[in-house]
Amino acid sequence: MEKVRGFEVAKGFENQGIQIPIRKTKYSAAYDIEAAEDTVIPSFKPGMKPTLIKTGLKAYMQLDEVLLILPRSSGPKKQGILFPHSAGVIDKDYYGNPDNDGHIFIQCINIKEEDVQIKKGEAIAQAMFQKFLITDDDNAEGERLGGFGSTNH
């Protein structure tokens, strides 16, 4: 079977019980993403960097597709977590990159007054594959040489 789009376990997580994301209902638009390990997210204070939660996952897709990492609607109320960037963008060429094999991390901040404990296997985000368009004058020829944040020149 030809691989079109999907999720795989990232290198280094093969024997850690990582669950491949699934949709919960036949009309769900997104796949639930779980934490790969227990993680403590400290209560946010100005100047703090976001906490990166490991997923143990990587994603493959077609040339004209992107994977959007979106917050769960229950995240702020139940877990107290927000995404500081609103949504994550996983490009096709992030998959298998030499730095981290395309391992997907979830950036979070905690809006509760106390630290938040995220347990391994707890749903923390949702992921949606989408087609994208390019402009008439697009001539991008750059090549990804790294992992997380590597296209920020």
In this model, does residue 123 exceed pLDDT 80? yes
12-71 residue pLDDT tens: 999 999 999 999 999 999 999 999 999 999 999 999 999 999 999 999 999 999 999 999
Calculate what percentage of the chain has a pLDDT beyond 70: 93
What are 39's two structure tokens?
């993680």
Distance CA 11, CA 147 (A): 13
Distance CA 125, CA 52 (A): 12
Separation between Cα atoms, residue 38 and residue 34, nearest integer Å: 11
Residues 33, 57 contacting (CB under 8 angstroms): yes
pLDDT digits (tens, 9 = 90+) for 81-107: 999 988 999 999 999 999 999 999 999
Residue 141 has pLDDT above 90, yes or no: no
For residues 152 and 129, give the distance between their C-alpha atoms in angstroms, rounded to a whole number: 22
pLDDT of residue 76: 79
Mean pLDDT of all residues in 137-144: 82
Q: Looking at residue 145, what is its pLDDT? A: 67
Residue 89 tokens, joined = 């963008």
Mean pLDDT of the chain: 92
Is 140 a residue whose pLDDT tops 50?
yes
Structure tokens at 152: 């920020």
Instruction: Check residue 128 and give its pLDDT.
Output: 98
The pTM (predicted TM-score) of the whole model is 0.89
Neighbours of 9 (CB within 10 A): 20
- Provide the residue count of the chain: 153
pLDDT > 90? residue 150: no
Q: All domains of the chain, ordered by start, with CATH? A: 6-131 (2.70.40.10)
